[in-house]
Amino acid sequence: MSQVPGSSEFSQSRSEQSLHISELVHRFGDRLRAISAWASISLPFLYLPLLFTGLNTVTQTIAFLLLLSLNALMIHLWRVK
C-alpha cells in the first residue's frame, strides 16, 4: 500500500535540500566562495550587451533570464555561510 507524502514530509525534504547546499558550501568552502564571487561579478558583463541590444527574440530573452538566474545563484552561494 503506497502512501502519499504529507506536507510535513514535503517541508522536511525542502529543509534537507537546503542542508545539502550548505553542506556543499562547507565542504568546498573557500574555493566555492571564490568561484561564485568572481562569477557573480563577471556575469553582468555577459547579460548587459543583451539588454543594450534589446530582448527582441525569445532566444535572447531566455538567454538573459538564464544568465540572470545563474547570477542570483552565484550571489547566493557567495553569501551562504
> Where are the domains positioned within the chain?
7-79
pLDDT, tens digit, 9 for 90 and up, residues 24-51: 667 777 788 888 889 999 999 988 888 8
pLDDT, tens digit, 9 for 90 and up, residues 58-70: 999 999 999 999 9
- Helix (H) or strand (E) holding 49, with range, is helix 44-53
C-alpha distance from residue 32 to each of 17, 23, 37, 60, 65 (Å): 18, 12, 8, 29, 23
Report field, pTM of the whole predicted structure over 0.85: no
Contacts of 81 (CB under 8 A, 6+ apart): 25
Contact 70, 43 (CB under 8 A): yes
- Helix (H) or strand (E) holding 28, with range, is helix 7-42
